[in-house]
Amino acid sequence: MVMKSFLPQEAVVLVGGLGTRLGPLTRDVPKPMLLVAGRPFLEYFLLRLKNEGIRRVALAVAYHSQVIKNYFGDGRRLGLEIFYSDPEGRQLGTGGSIKEAENLIHGKQFFAMNGDVYFEAPLDRLWREHCRGAHEITLALASAADSGRYGRVRLDGQGRVASFLEKSATASPGPCLINGGIYVFQRQVLERIPSGVDYSLERDLFPVLAGRSLGGAAFPEAFFIDIGTPEDYDRANRELPMRLKEKGYAGQ
């Protein structure tokens, strides 16, 4: 059972993917470094984490890692402590990349996140749900009009993920809850993940834990957007600047 009551102040952020669906936009920069309103998407992402109470961030880099390191350095400019987990360009998947950052994690619980998604799920509420359910991992779930691109998550009546179906060409159409790319981890769950290999949370770990120790908290009204396709990157440039201005991030 989770006994710790204070919000974890550290997070592992996955920023090492190739971003192939964005074509030439990511030829020379990692996807999270694409500009939105003149600044890297990742900068706004990190400012939001700071606003939510995060103080230490391990950036799990890989593709064009030096671009991220050169821009953010030690994080002092943003009021954060930033560290880097760098497998020297190897693609280790979402699970393998978090495992690679294990030595940078201090606490028994921590947040893990996809760095190409802007999802306004409150971290304190996600944390409370994690503590209440005593799960190994708790997922923040967003609402989507169609599961085809994201896969689909179903909750039971106790806040557990009953089933986790990764995206596929045969996914059922219609509105659903989806994986929002923000998680709370119990550190011991990293023992399930092999070191130094390509390992996917979505395909290799979450389906195994579903129905047992995988929790979920739904935030259907929270703003959600990723920048994984040219269409959504264009949408981010249209919609995010106003939201960021309202939140005060644009002036930081």
In this predicted model, what pLDDT tens digit does every residue of 17-46 receive, in sequence order? Answer: 999 999 999 999 999 999 998 999 999 999
In this prediction, residues 142-162 reach a mean pLDDT of 83
Please give the pLDDT value at position 51.
93
Lowest mean pLDDT among 4-8, 30-34, 238-242: 4-8
Please give the pLDDT value at position 172.
62
Task: Let me know the angle formed at the C-alpha of 16 by 45 and 123, rounded to the nearest 5 degrees.
Answer: 35
pLDDT surpassing 80 at residue 5 = no
Highest mean pLDDT: which range of 138-152, 157-171, 179-193, 230-244:
179-193
Q: Directed axis angle between helix 41-51 and helix 65-72, to 10°?
A: 50
Q: Catalytic residues, which ones? A: 167
Please give the pLDDT value at position 240.
92
Provide DSSP, 99-160: HHTGGG--SSEEEEEETTEEE---HHHHHHHHHHHT-SEEEEEEEES-STTT-EEEE-TTSB
User: How would residue 251 be classed by pLDDT, with cut points 50, 70 and 90?
Assistant: low
The better pLDDT of the pair 89, 26 is held by 26
Name the nearest CA neighbour of 218 among 184, 178, 246: 178
Please give the pLDDT value at position 198.
96
In this prediction, residues 38-59 reach a mean pLDDT of 96
The better pLDDT of the pair 1, 25 is held by 25
Show Cβ contacts of residue 144 under 8 Å, excluding neighbours closer than 6 positions: 150, 175, 176, 177, 178, 224
In this prediction, residues 131-153 reach a mean pLDDT of 86
Contact 79, 52 (CB under 8 A): no
In angstroms, the first-to-last Cα distance of the chain is: 38
pLDDT surpassing 90 at residue 1 = no
pLDDT digits (tens, 9 = 90+) for 174-211: 678 999 999 999 999 999 999 999 999 999 999 999 99
In this prediction, residues 73-78 reach a mean pLDDT of 97
In this prediction, residues 49-65 reach a mean pLDDT of 96
Distance CA 249, CA 175 (A): 31
Please give the pLDDT value at position 248.
80
Please give the pLDDT value at position 90.
93
Distance CA 10, CA 109 (A): 9
In this prediction, residues 84-107 reach a mean pLDDT of 96
| Alpha-carbon distances, residue 195 vs 95, 108, 191 (angstroms) | 10, 19, 9
251, with CB counted inside 10 A (0-12, 13-18, 19+), is exposed
Show Cβ contacts of residue 157 under 8 Å, excluding neighbours closer than 6 positions: none
